[in-house]
Amino acid sequence: MASLAPTLSSTISRLTHLHKPSLHSAITTLKNFRFKQKLSKRIRPFINSSPSSLSAHFSSAQMRSTVGSDDDLVVLGIETSCDDTAAAVVRSNGEILSQVVSSQADLLVQYGGVAPKMAEEAHSKVIDQVVQEALDKANLSESDLSAVAVTIGPGLSLCLRVGVQKARKLAGTYALPIVGVHHMEAHALVARLVQGELQFPFLVLLISGGHNLLILARDLGNYVQLGTTIDDAIGEAYDKTAKWLGLDLRKSGGPAVEDLAREGLKTQVRLAVESGSINPEIPVSSASSEDRKERANIAASFQRVAVLHLEEKCERAIEWASKIEPSIKHLVVSGGVASNQYVRARLNQIVEKNCLQLVCPPPKLCTDNGVMVAWTGIEHFRMGRFDPPPPTNEPEDAVLDLRPRWPLGEEYTEGRSEARSIRRARIHPSLTSLIQASMQQQS
């Protein structure tokens, strides 16, 4: 555990540098205005594109250098792909100006999981307020922004739509460019905000409620998928375990299992679920001490097995990744489950054994958040990958570019699994293949 301290403390100390802009913001506003004027001339060629399209347009090398050289950007990020409504304002130097998350914990408890229609309604109810709060906390107004970034996939399309509509409305009204963001890429790239010196290529383990992914990040927009979810994602397994053990789901299942597992670590593990002695209808808070001990044992053994599985996958991915990119030095672990201390400690051992370094964003940036979306927006915007401001009069029922099933990269052939080939229907081309195709068109 002690060996984790340097990584964690360095991420935390960077976060404590966050400040609200005062005089500086006035200067930046002026700079942004000039930048926007320059940009608006540049983006004109894209304005004829389909009004509802959010697919990234890729600019010429000339434009790329112009955007890259004026690097004082302030981007609003919006995230609604699952059950959290989140927004944040981030500056291109890595300062987080604000971060707001409204979670649907009560709905989760009520329905025992995410119900898409309910989640959509909950997002719609709070989205305006969440975005406004993010701007207020950053001490900025919409016109101070350089661009709006929004998650367009993967996720629940009903939920994605709420964020995308909000982003397009705002971008249309204030003539802001818009960047469509891949949710899993955002989980990975937030590590580069946290640890400024993290360079490509690096290995990434993404562990969340919907996906387990092992990715080799070769460059921005160039990812090789070394492994992916076959059955349940680990976060989902945590959530189910929490439900079966009658745990308090308000914080989401993962942390509840982690807490209880701590109590079970020292005792002999017995799988009492099979004996039928645990009744999830009885909340753990009112269970007898014997019953509680039994549940703690199960939580601990579940956690041990689940994480052992991750450890094995990581070892293999490190081997593969080092073959493809021998210069990798880091393993990034992100996504909701990466906030688990046991997971971090176990993976740190694997990483040290292989002479790599572990990079884990702080828990607030591991679970779904707007900062990762804003940051990923900044990374792509710098490369000239964005769409022009949408029209101000876009109809409410415009067909939007939403990508509920959207792989991050192509599969590494050695890692391909038979089980997954059946699940290929209705998948959007991967982010990496789209970016590579557009780069070929330009050259």
Task: By CB under 6 A, name the binding residues for ligand KG4.
Answer: 82, 208-210, 235-236, 238-239, 252-255, 258, 335-337, 339-340, 367-368
**Site for Zn ion contains 239 (CB under 5 A):** no
Footprint of Zn ion on residues 190-209 (CB under 5 A)?
Answer: 208
Binding partner selected for residue 235 from Zn ion, ligand KG4, none, CB under the kind-specific 5 to 8 Å limit: ligand KG4
CB neighbours (10 Å) of residue 48?
Answer: 8
Cβ proximity to ligand KG4, 195 vs 303, nearer residue: 303
- The two structure tokens encoding residue 298: 């199960």
- A 10 A CB-CB count for 177 gives 27
In angstroms, what is the minimal distance from the CB of 224 to ligand KG4? 21
Query: Using CB atoms, what's the residue nearest to Zn ion?
Result: 208
- Asked whether 65 and 382 are in contact (CB, 8 A), the reply is no
Give the residue with the Cβ less far from Zn ion, 120 or 294. Answer: 120
Nearer to ligand KG4, 331 or 337 (CB): 337
Distance CA 435, CA 76 (A): 23
Taking alpha carbons only, the member of 193, 203, 181 closest to residue 327 is: 203
Partner from ligand KG4, Zn ion, none contacting 367, C-beta within 5 to 8 A by type: ligand KG4
What does 144 interact with, of Zn ion, ligand KG4, none (CB < 5 to 8 A by kind)?
none
Report how far residue 230's alpha carbon sits from residue 153's, in angstroms, rounded to the nearest whole number. Answer: 19
Smallest distance, ligand KG4 to C-beta of residue 379, A: 19
254 binds, among ligand KG4, Zn ion, none (CB under 5 to 8 A by kind): ligand KG4
Whole-number minimum distance, CB 409 to ligand KG4, in Å? 18
Q: Which is nearer to ligand KG4, 209 or 389 (CB)?
A: 209
Residue type, 357: Q
Contacts of 288 (CB under 8 A, 6+ apart): none
CB of 340 to ligand KG4, least distance (A): 3
Length of the chain, please? 443
In whole angstroms, the minimum distance from the beta carbon of 48 to ligand KG4 comes to 35
Alpha carbon distance, N-terminus to C-terminus of the chain: 49
Contacts of 339 (CB under 8 A, 6+ apart): 254, 255, 363, 366, 367
Q: Which residues pair with 293 in a beta bridge?
A: none
- What does 388 interact with, of ligand KG4, Zn ion, none (CB < 5 to 8 A by kind)? none
- Show Cβ contacts of residue 380 under 8 Å, excluding neighbours closer than 6 positions: 56, 149, 179, 181, 220, 221, 386
**Cβ at position 187, least distance to ligand KG4 in Å:** 6
Query: What minimum distance in Å lies between the beta carbon of 259 and ligand KG4?
Result: 8
Dmax over CA atoms of the chain, in Å, equals: 71
Pick from Zn ion, ligand KG4, none: which does 340 bind, CB < 5 to 8 A by kind? ligand KG4
The CA distance from 367 to 78, in Å, is 14
Nearer to ligand KG4, 211 or 428 (CB): 211
Query: Cβ atoms within 10 A of the Cβ of 376, count?
Result: 28
Q: Where does 202-282 show beta strands of DSSP type E?
A: 202-207, 212-219, 222-228
Find which of ligand KG4, Zn ion, none residue 239 binds, CB within 5 to 8 Å per kind.
Answer: ligand KG4
Q: How far is the CB of 217 from ligand KG4 (least distance, A)?
A: 17
**Binding status of residue 368 toward Zn ion by CB under 5 A:** yes
Calculate the alpha carbon distances from 208 to 234, 289, 430 in Å: 7, 32, 19
Q: Which is nearer to ligand KG4, 195 or 212 (CB)?
A: 212
Per CB under 5 A, 146 contacts Zn ion: no
Q: Rounded to an integer, what is the distance from CA 50 to the centroid of its chain?
A: 27
Shortest distance (Å) from residue 45 CB to Zn ion: 34
Query: Three-state DSSP class for 85?
Result: strand
Q: Which does 120 bind (CB under 5 to 8 A by kind): ligand KG4, Zn ion, none?
A: none
337: partner contacted, choices ligand KG4, Zn ion, none (Cβ within 5-8 A by kind)? ligand KG4
Among candidates 291, 302, 200, which has minimal Cα distance to 242? Answer: 302
CB of 184 to ligand KG4, least distance (A): 8
Q: Which is nearer to Zn ion, 85 or 208 (CB)?
A: 208
Cβ proximity to Zn ion, 211 vs 428, nearer residue? 211
Residues that bind Zn ion (CB under 5 A): 208, 368
